[in-house]
């Protein structure tokens, strides 16, 4: 959902700015777009950490195949903590950026751009905090939004594999073991995509921090555009990758789309096929929790809002 928000709100603003050299919504977009982009990095970072903890808990559970179904309220609470925490850590971006104008010496055209410069109208205490954040922003990006999710995922995967390797009763050949391996591969794939798409931004931040006096404004703008391109690419690829690799989630998504397209009025045969597919989905694994596999769920619980 957050990736969709980034593509829906931030991508048009960036394209409009590159075409017209004017900022859509003016100073508001200069503050909101960086805030949403950094929040997106936080959401992805903490989501990967949460998924790593879930996989570790699934591997160390004494009865992993019969774990109880996690309540929807618990999942919503975790998502709320991830989103609120990410947005809170991104608040300094709103105070750090502001709109600036530059006149071309060749044709006299006025161009608008966003500059990383705290407003002097801020209170002294807030202004000093924003300056501190600006000075530490590069290493904060690198440590929290790059190293943390990658190292956390690698550590959880190594510990999980070691625990499973030392278990006497290896269940890799069973259906449950195959589902666990599939979910672990999904998390690894998401981490690889995130790492590849955030590496250029961290390299550019380090280069700009130490070589910005020797670089022209056009070069800095090009690097910033490249960073945003990789962010939009990550936001486009991640949902598709998740739907393709996570079969229960992809099947649920397709069922929802088909239900909406058919007007929620399928015939009897399609209803039976849908009920059968939903039963298989209920019996398979989810990324967030493992459903019990000893007994099938009751048929009365197969209904959906559609």
Across residues 31-35, what is the average pLDDT? 89
CA angle 200-205-206, nearest 5°? 100
Q: What does the DSSP 8-state code read for residue 69?
A: P
Residue predicted with more confidence, 228 or 101: 228
Residue 72: per-residue pLDDT: 83
Span 248-270, mean pLDDT? 65
Residue 129 lies in a domain: yes
Provide the pLDDT confidence category of residue 13 given band limits of 50, 70 and 90.
Answer: confident
Q: 288 in a domain, yes or no?
A: no
State yes or no: pLDDT of 275 exceeds 60. Answer: no
> Is the pLDDT assigned to residue 279 strictly greater than 50?
no
In this predicted model, which residue has the larger pLDDT, 39 or 221? 39
Query: If you average pLDDT over every residue of the chain, what do you get?
Result: 76
- State which of 167-176, 208-217, 240-249 shows the largest mean pLDDT: 240-249
Is residue 34 in a domain? yes
- Asked, for residue 240, whether it belongs to a domain, the answer is yes
Dig out the tokens for 111 from the structure: 């161009």
DSSP H helical ranges for the chain: 2-5, 11-20, 27-60, 72-89, 91-96, 124-142, 148-166, 175-211, 217-245, 247-261, 268-283
pLDDT digits (tens, 9 = 90+) for 39-94: 999 999 999 888 888 877 777 766 655 556 778 888 888 889 999 999 999 998 88
Average pLDDT over residues 192-200: 89
The pLDDT tens digits of the residues spanning 115-167 come to 888 887 888 888 888 888 888 888 888 988 999 999 888 888 888 778 776 65
pLDDT at 43: 92
Would you place residue 187 in the very low, low, confident or very high pLDDT band (cuts 50, 70, 90)?
Answer: confident
Please report which confidence band the pLDDT of residue 184 belongs to, taking 50, 70 and 90 as the band edges. Answer: confident
Bridge partners of 110, per DSSP, are: 103
CATH of the domain at 116: 1.20.1070.10
**What's the whole-model pTM score?**
0.74
Number of domains in the chain: 1
- Evaluate whether residue 243 is within a structural domain: yes
Q: Is residue 41 part of a domain?
A: yes
pLDDT of residue 286: 45
In a domain, residue 90? The reply is yes
Phi then psi for residue 246, to 5 deg, are -90, 95
Q: pLDDT tier at 291 (50, 70, 90 boundaries)?
A: very low
**Within a domain: 207:** yes
Domain range for 7 = 1-58+71-166+175-260
Question: What is the model's pLDDT at position 46?
Answer: 92
């Amino acid at each position: 959902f957050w990736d969709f928000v980034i593509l829906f709100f931030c991508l048009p603003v960036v394209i409009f700015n590159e075409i017209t050299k004017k900022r859509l919504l003016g100073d508001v977009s200069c503050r909101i777009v960086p805030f949403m982009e950094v929040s997106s990095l936080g959401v992805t970072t903490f989501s990967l950490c949460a998924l790593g903890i879930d996989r570790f808990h699934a591997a160390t559970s004494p009865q992993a195949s019969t774990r109880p179904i996690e309540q929807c309220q618990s999942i919503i609470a975790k998502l709320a903590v991830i989103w609120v925490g990410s947005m809170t850590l991104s608040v300094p971006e709103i105070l750090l950026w502001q709109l600036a104008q530059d006149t071309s010496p060749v044709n006299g055209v006025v161009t608008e751009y966003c500059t990383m410069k705290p407003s002097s109208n801020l209170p002294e205490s807030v202004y000093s905090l924003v300056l501190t954040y600006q000075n530490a922003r590069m290493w904060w990006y690198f440590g929290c939004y790059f190293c943390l999710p990658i190292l956390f995922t690698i550590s959880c995967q190594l510990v999980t594999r070691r625990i499973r390797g030392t278990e006497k009763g290896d269940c890799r050949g069973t259906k449950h073991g195959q589902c666990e391996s599939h979910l672990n591969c999904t998390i690894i794939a998401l981490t690889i995509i995130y790492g590849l798409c955030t590496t250029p931004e961290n390299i550019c931040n380090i280069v700009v921090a130490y070589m910005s006096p020797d670089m022209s404004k056009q070069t800095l703008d090009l690097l910033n555009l490249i960073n945003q391109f990789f962010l939009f690419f990550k936001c486009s690829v991640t949902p598709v990758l998740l739907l393709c690799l996570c079969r229960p989630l992809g099947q649920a998504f397709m069922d929802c789309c088909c239900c909406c397209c058919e007007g929620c009025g399928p015939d009897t045969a399609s209803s039976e096929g849908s009920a059968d597919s939903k039963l298989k989905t209920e019996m398979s694994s989810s990324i967030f929790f493992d459903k019990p596999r000893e007994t099938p769920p009751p048929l009365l619980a197969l209904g959906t809002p559609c």
